Amino acid sequence: MEKIVLPEIENFHQLDVYIQNAGYEAAKSAFTQTTNQIIDTVKKSGLRGRGGAAFSAGLKWSFMPKNNDKPKYLCVNGDESEPGSFKDRQILERNPHQLIEGTIIACYAIGAKSAYIYVRGEYHKWIKLLQKALDDAYEKGFVGEKMKETFGTDFSCNIYVHKGAGAYICGEESSLMNSIEGQRGYPRVKPPFPAQNGLWGNPTTINNVETITNIPPIIKKGWEWFSAIGEPKHPGTILFGVSGHVNNPGVFELPSGTLLTDIIYKYAGGVIGGKKIKCVIPGGSSMPPLRGDKLEGVKMDAESLKAVGSAIGTGGIMVMDEDTDLVRVLARIAKFYYHESCGQCTPCREGTGWMLKILNRLVRGEGTSKDLDLLITIAKNIEGNTICALGDAAAWPVKFMIARFREEFEAVVKDEVSLEPKNKVHSMRHTANPIAPVQV
């Protein structure tokens, strides 16, 4: 089976090996084409973002303004902080040059002279590996001023590695940009979107590391080739990271649309001890979980997962066996989003903490049946009302885990017998007209 992102070639991460395998030739061919041609190729290839939202990469590039004197930027998102996701790390380790080459092509296509590859701070080792590859590429004239000569083009760009410092939210595109600018990683209110107002207020495109790494093969082999791989609506291979209760966890590059059960049983070696599966989260911890008894026939691509009420996310598959305490799992997930909420906007700042407090109470056996519905309404009140998608990411696991595994939660709660008085804030007083004009 074809490996696009993680070819099984020994020492492929080394520049000489990469060159021996036609490395940087896609870039060379890209420079013989117009930027429109490249964007068109990427559009037609059907490549969709691998960072979670699965948005068309070519379409995203086409949003970049053409006649604009402002400097343009490319951000490559390697913040990879969603629990259950550990795929970009493999690219940084095993195929950094293809990432660099993809970055060069993307820069050329959108007219960016600078690209920042944002890698999460904890990846010290992988940042060093990427930096080494980048230094080599600079030295050999594949990046920077010298690339003009190397590729015989008048285009050149610089690539910089920016190291994060421990903040999940910086995987959100506008937080990532604020972070590069040296600010607190607060998401920005959108619109304006990055293509209009990104890094330092300039047009910016942001793509995931895996998305960018797919670019050189697409340029090299053509969109027809790529679009024929896997599911037509979400073509190509996907790096599936399997973790949890499986015998052989790890990252598997497989065509989109591969059966979830095949990934778990064929590639990841099946469940430890031959146990049954209780729950699978298919795309990183924020994605709606699937019941173990409903995995049959589930295909791993954006559209198929949508059809079964989940989403592809980052392709991080978390497998939980029949003995797993889902109340504890959900409490742990809630703790993560509570810890990582930036605190900028109200629903997420307050709601994540509230959900965690209730779930911790459930874990301690102090929950009541009313808490379950309360949790769902809190999640719904966060969802869609926040500045960025972290609100949804925090809400979905709670909402869907309780809805789909209600019996697990019912089992740990007591009936409502509390005699404590309600915490009354005030009496209700809706008036047609405000009592007095409210000050600004």
Partner 1 sequence: MEFKFSEENLQKIELVLKKYPTKQAAVMPVLYIAQEQNGWISKEVMVETASILEMNEEDVFGVVTFYTMYHKKEMGKYHIQVCTNVSCMLRGGYQIYDAVKEKLGLDNGDVSNDKKFSLEEVECMGSCGTAPMIAVNEDYFENLDKEKALQILDSLN
Partner 2 sequence: MPKIIIDGKEIEFKPGQTVIQAARENGIEIPHFCWHPSLSVSGNCRLCLVEIEKMPKLVISCSTTATEGMVVQTQSEKVIAARNAVMEFILINHPLDCPICDEAGECKLQDYTYQHSVGESRFTEEKNHKEKRIELGPNVMFDGERCISCSRCIRFCDEIVGEKELTFIKRGDRVTITTFPGKKLENPYSMNVTDICPVGALTNRDFRFKSRVWEMAPTKTICSGCARGCNIDLWTRNNEVLRITPRQNEDVNSFWMCDNGRLNTFKHVNANDRVSGPHLRKEGQLIKCGWDEAYAKTLSELKSFAKDEIAALASSSLTVEDTYLVSKFVRSTLNMKNFDFVRKVVAGSGDAILIREDKATNAKGFELMGVEPGKSASGGGLKFDEIISHIESGRIKALILIEEDLIGWNPAFEKILSKLDFLVTISTNFDASTSFANVVFPASTYAEKNGTWINFQGRIQRIRPAVTTIEMERSLDGMSQSRWDKFGTDFDSWGKAKKNDARPTWKIISGLASAFGTKYKFTMAEEIFNEIAHTNPLFTGLDYDVVGENGVQLKTETVKKKVTI
167 touches partner 1 (CB under 8 A): yes
DSSP 95: -
What gap in Å lies between CA 333 and CA 311, rounded to an integer? 17
d(C-alpha 440, C-alpha 421), whole Å: 35
Taking the C-alpha atoms of residue 259 and residue 120, their distance in angstroms, rounded to an integer, is 30
Applying CB under 8 A, among 100, 180, 355, 412 the residue interacting with partner 1 is 180
| Integer Cα distance of 236 and 231 in angstroms | 8
Beta carbon nearer to partner 1, 54 or 161:
161
In terms of DSSP bridges, do strands 204-208 and 73-78 run parallel, antiparallel, or are they unpaired?
parallel
* 292: CB partners within 8 A, 6+ apart: 276, 277, 278, 279, 280, 320, 322
- Answer for which of 98, 213, 286, 324 binds partner 1 (CB under 8 A) is 324
Q: State yes or no: residue 235 binds partner 1 (CB under 8 A).
A: no
CB-based contact 185:121 (threshold 8 Å): no
Cβ at position 80, least distance to partner 2 in Å: 19
Chain positions 327 to 346 lying near partner 1, rule: CB under 8 A, are 328-329, 332-333, 336, 339-340, 342
Map tokens 């990846």 to a residue.
123
Binding residue count for partner 1, defined by CB under 8 A: 54
DSSP assignment letter at 246: B
426 binds, among partner 2, partner 1, none (CB under 5 to 8 A by kind): partner 2
By CB under 8 A, is residue 160 in contact with partner 1? Answer: yes
Do residues 64 and 202 make contact, with C-beta atoms less than 8 angstroms apart?
A: no
* CB of 194 or CB of 255, closer to partner 2: 194
- Cβ count within 10 A of residue 64: 23
- Give yes or no for a contact between 277 and 263, defined as CB atoms under 8 angstroms apart: no
Residue 363 in contact with partner 2, rule: CB under 8 A:
no
Work out the end-to-end distance of the chain between its first and last CA atoms, rounded to an integer number of angstroms: 64
Q: Which stretch binds partner 2 (CB under 8 A): 73-81, 91-99, 288-296, 350-358?
A: 350-358
* Footprint of partner 2 on 259-318 (CB under 8 A): none
Binding residues for partner 1, per CB under 8 A? Answer: 71, 80-86, 88-89, 120-125, 160, 162-168, 179-185, 200, 241-245, 249-251, 281, 285, 316, 318, 320, 324, 328-329, 332-333, 336, 339-340, 342
Task: List residues binding partner 2 (CB under 8 A).
Answer: 167, 169, 184, 189, 191, 338-347, 349-354, 357-358, 361, 374, 381, 384-387, 418, 420, 422-431, 434-440
